[in-house]
Amino acid sequence: MRSLTAPSFRSLHIFVCHASEDRAAAGKLCDELSAEGIHCWFDMRSLAPGTNWEKEIEINIRRSDAVLVCVSRVVPDKKTYIQTEIRLVLEAAAARSRASRFVFPVLLEPCDLPENLRRWQSVDVAAEEGRRSLLAALRELASGTLGVAGPADTSAERDWKPPHVRGPLRPIVQATRDYERWLGKLTPLVREDFQLKHEVMSASTFAFLRATFYRWMEAWPSECPELAKAPLVLCAGDVHIEAFGTWLDPEGRLGWGLTNFDESYPLPYTSDLVRLAASVFLAGRVIGFGQQYPLSRICEGILEAYHDTLARGGAPYVLGARHDWLYSLVHTKEHVPETFWKKLTSLPKARHVPMEVREALERSLPGDTMFEVVSRRSGVGSLGWPRYIAMAEWMGGPVASDARYIPFPSAAWAAGHQTNVQIFHNTVLETARHTPNLRSGVWKGLFVKRIAPDITRVDLNSVRKKDVARLVKACARDVANVHLGTPGAAARILPHLDGLPARWLEGAAKRMAKRNHLDFQAWRTSRREKRRGWVSVPNSPGGGDLPVRLPQVPGAASCRRSRGPT
């Protein structure tokens, strides 16, 4: 009978075969591989006292994903147990269907390979290029092995540039103006949606948090400097309690987890955790469960679930067969098919649909399907970017796909990048420990996904108070699922996490919530003042300027109103 437990993701298991004379060089290689998140079986470190070492060696050769046969000048002439180990390796390789990806001859120094190992391509790890080549081969092996996390690529991660402190924080109005001006140079914007977004930001501290991730990225390094030095992983970025939802996987199952990776970027893992805790704290004040679930309890649940999921190697959520409470939470009476399709058909028909949008929507629908494109306004943080929905009839019923331009990550703005801004949306979407999202992905700067009545997100207004604690833990587990998409993440995060002081998450969440409250008050004050000026936000290249009305900073010079396409 098949197990019904959720699959876990483990490290790549490597057996290191070596001669006694090469123990120091082989041990150094093991240290380098272990730093990349690879589990190495090395006799002097892996054999427990009192064990039958011959039997253990034979068992672990068969159980390994691959074997590194370390070769030096002394190996061909050795008549000791190294020859027995090589024979066991060859027998294990012969019993495998993919023997060519099981044996890796490793040259510790320039020398000739033994005759029985020459069928496999060797690699000289005495040179830096050889070690990189070996790691690349092991990553490729891991990518094709079910349930195995790929080794890290620390050389690539050295190029990651997280946000940094650049002096005193600017007033929130000025920061908003600068961010939107920067963004307008890189991607198309919608003037009316930004005006609506500015009004939504005044609704509550929670709504303000959701709409201003750029401010979080700007304030984070100075408000939490000790946490900003934590290990970097590819983070979701804009994490909050309502950023979680459902999708359909290729097997027709309903997956659940983080659904928005627009702000994905290499960040300290602590940023996602603190933002999740701060969002629950602020949402509790707005909705009314704050007294029942104080911040200390919220943080304890987040850390417990996050740590457990990292140690397990991942915990994907699939609804239907289990997690009944979560299924009922995301599927309320409002999410009935008739209401869903009626709402879509009432949307206005889109005008001037860009060619790349039409092509992206066409690729996401069944072949040779005639479809109509409507425009949509949705979200809080994503307000300001054009969104399109393709609707069609296919095989007796309606189908629909959603396409929208991906905003460039706010973390890149906070880090001071002006050109060549990299988008990590697709990378996180493909590597997170999630069941795959059916017909979703990035194409020519657009994120395209299939939408349906079953595909919905968490709505805090429908969350029962007794489910809040379980929901927070589920969110924390899925944050860990995203972080585990970075190879070697658990090996770097767990020791750092265990070394942090008690109640660190509670203290950081309070500081960031206070920062959010101060900015919220300043923003509301500016919105109440008489707005006489306009600022022009540059549109995409060749598209003119978008007039966006923003509150004026007291004492600042007025800006000329610019006319441009809407």
What confidence score (pLDDT) does residue 544 get?
34
* 342 class by beta-carbon count within 10 Å (0-12 exposed, 13-18 middle, 19+ buried): exposed
Listed residue (257, 561, 172, 197) closest to 432, CA to CA: 257
Give the mean pLDDT of 135-156: 69
Tokens encoding 2:
């098949």
Which of 51-60, 365-374, 547-556 is the least confident region?
547-556
CA distances from 412 to 144, 160, 184, 427 (A): 32, 10, 14, 16
13-151: CATH homologous superfamily? Toll/interleukin-1 receptor homology (TIR) domain (3.40.50.10140)
Closest CA to 401 of 392, 393, 390: 390
Least confident of 53-57, 244-248, 421-425: 421-425
Q: How many whole angstroms separate alpha carbon 439 and alpha carbon 250? A: 8
Q: Kindly report, residue by residue over 209-236, the tens digit of the pLDDT.
A: 999 999 999 999 999 999 998 999 999 9
Q: How far apart are CA 56 and CA 58, in angstroms?
A: 5
Q: Where are the alpha helices (DSSP H) in 124-186?
A: 128-143, 154-157, 172-184
Does an H or E element contain 519, and which? helix 504-528
pLDDT tens readout for residues 237-248: 999 999 999 998
- What integer pLDDT is reported at residue 479 of this predicted model? 97
pLDDT score of 147: 59
- Edge-to-edge strands of the sheet including 441-443? 371-375, 387-394, 397-405, 446-451, 441-443
Q: How far apart are CA 347 and CA 343, in angstroms?
A: 7
Give the pairing of strands 446-451 and 39-41. Answer: unpaired
Closest CA to 308 of 499, 473, 501: 473
Q: What is the share, in percent, of the chain residues with pLDDT greater than 70?
A: 83
Q: Which of 93, 154, 101 is nearest to 488 (CA)?
A: 154
- The ranges assigned to domains in the chain are 13-151, 190-197+206-518
- What is the reported pLDDT for 69? 94
Q: Which of 1-10, 94-103, 289-298 has the lowest mean pLDDT?
A: 1-10
